[in-house]
Structure 1
Amino acid sequence: MNDEELIKAALQLKKEEDDELAKLLDKAGFLFVPILLKFILNSEDKMDDTLQVDYKEVCEKVKKFVENRKKKPTKLSIKNVLRGRSFQSNMRDEVVPEMRKAFFGLFEAFNDKYGGGDKFDFRSKHYNDIEKWLKKLPKLMQVTTDEALIRTIQQSYEDGQGINWLEKKLSELPEFSRNRARTTAITEGLRMYSGSQYEAMMQNDAIVGKTWRHTHGIKEPRKGHEDADGQTVAKDEYFIINGEKCRYPRDPTLSAGESIHCHCFMVPLIN
């Protein structure tokens, strides 16, 4: 297979994956699937570009760092050498704006569906929470990457491996993979979906409550999320999910274990 055939095959595979994602979102009960999918795919592309730039910068820094170094480096020394990368600024400039677009685009769709007002309340506490989360996300993702890098670099010294082994391991780290870009885009896209729905509900006096719905048919579902199916509260109250309080599925207040790969959604209770 030549390069052109390989590219065509890769594009076809991605299209099939995107079509399957659209079907899953529709089957799961999400509204505005074409709009939601567009924002997810845009974020995925931006996220993948950002991860690839970070991978190249990391490789250059690590090669220089381990060159002629005989003793196993400390965590602090590795953290110091990993500083000064463009990852966080690239996230802020390229990826976060796409997520913000998703929030406002989906808010407009929900607001139209619920017959809400014309103006968005930028002073709402929840909107400020969303902004805080988007500003915090780049640092959280870099911390995860740095932890994986520290483990890998130290392991190369513990096992007596050379630079070739280390380069191979760096290229295989899931922290730089397209899969991470896709998982992040889906998780944050669905977070913006539920967050925008919640904001549209809060700014609409006709909506008085909300019901948590669990998507059935998901592989390895969380029992706490299944148990919450049908849980109804006032729109300004919290759901209780596995002992954690949240305003909606994938609320930034939830732990990563309760947010990532969550496919639950809300149904408004209209007066």
Structure 2
Amino acid sequence: MQRSVVYWLTAAYRRNVPEIAQDESPAMALTKMMRRLAKQWQRRFDEAAQPVATEFAETSMSAADVSLRNALRQKGFSVQFQMTRAANDVFQATVQENVGLIKSIAAEHLQDVQGLVMRSVTQGRDLEGLVEDLQKRYGVTKRRAAFIARDQNNKATATITRVRQQGLGIKQAKWRHSRGGKHPRKSHQEADGQVYDADKGMLIDGEYIRPGELPNCRCVAISIIPGFDP
């Protein structure tokens, strides 16, 4: 998308130099070009959102199941997870939430690009300045998308694990701090090793939460089996 937007806007920009900022028609030409590109790329993202979100949910569920299954196997239990009604509810909710996020990320980026183009035109800036601004904006969007992807993966894993624990009758879990982030939450560090109600979550900073639910939280839940765990 980024290469396409830069290519076509560059072509349109060059066709209208030096009239830019002196005549209304160059601005209108760039506006029409940007609208066409935005419509084209938004349509592509809308079409791709459902299959991409579905694959993401499937991967997240599979990874969460494998992790929990391996943890239980170490304690002498062998389980095979089924797509229960509760698990399916989580799966569908994960898909729909990510469909919305995929569409919104594209829409916000294209809207920002359109704003950059119009400001460049009205201020009479050169093409190099516009391309530089577009690259910076793309970097911001790319980093935001990466953050959202990590966050959604953590949240999906936490929710799926909770549902699986409930299905197995597991009532307690132990909070395990990841120790992997650059800016760890002090309260999450202090929660490391503490036991909490798997259904309710742990009371941290005034609210009941579970590992992985908050943005950038990489903590995990360790299931506790009575008689097998201290």
Same fold, TM-score > 0.5, yes or no: yes
Is 1:88 aligned to residue 46 of structure 2?
yes
Task: Check conservation: 1:224, 1:242, Cα contact below 8 A.
Answer: yes
Matches within 5 A, 1:1-271: 54-59=1-6, 62-63=9-10, 68=16, 70=21, 82-85=38-41, 86-93=44-51, 95-109=52-66, 110-111=68-69, 113-114=71-72, 115-124=78-87, 125-146=89-110, 148-157=112-121, 159-172=123-136, 173-175=138-140, 177=142, 183=147, 185-205=149-169, 207-216=170-179, 218-230=181-193, 232-240=195-203, 242=205, 246-250=209-213, 258-259=214-215, 261-271=216-226
TM-score w.r.t. the length of structure 2 is 0.65
Residue 58 of structure 1: CA displacement?
Answer: 3.0
1:82-126 CA-to-partner distances (Å, cap 9, x unmatched) read 233112323433x33441232232243124543445422144443
Q: How far apart are the structure 2 equivalents of 1:262 and 1:210?
A: 17
Q: How far apart are the structure 1 equivalents of 2:179 and 2:64?
A: 25
**Number of aligned residue pairs:** 205
Task: Check conservation: 2:65, 2:161, Cα contact below 8 A.
Answer: no
Task: Check conservation: 1:248, 1:266, Cα contact below 8 A.
Answer: yes
RMSD of aligned alpha carbons: 3.8
SS at match of 2:171: strand
Q: How far apart are the structure 1 equivalents of 2:94 and 2:81?
A: 20
1:161-190 CA-to-partner distances (Å, cap 9, x unmatched) read 12332123223421465x666555544444
Residue 155 of structure 1: CA displacement?
Answer: 4.4
Residue 61 of structure 1: CA displacement?
Answer: 6.0
CA 1:60–1:266: 2 relative to 1, 3 Å:
same
Q: How far apart are the structure 2 equivalents of 1:240 and 1:151?
A: 44
Structure 2 residue runs of 5 or longer lacking an equivalent are 73-77
CA 1:249–1:107: 2 relative to 1, 3 Å:
closer
Residue 238 of structure 1: CA displacement?
Answer: 3.8
Higher RCO structure (Cα 8 Å, ≥6 apart)? 1
Q: Is 162-171 or 123-132 further displaced after alignment? A: 123-132
Identity of aligned residues (%): 18
Residue 127 of structure 1: CA displacement?
Answer: 3.3
SS at match of 1:96: helix
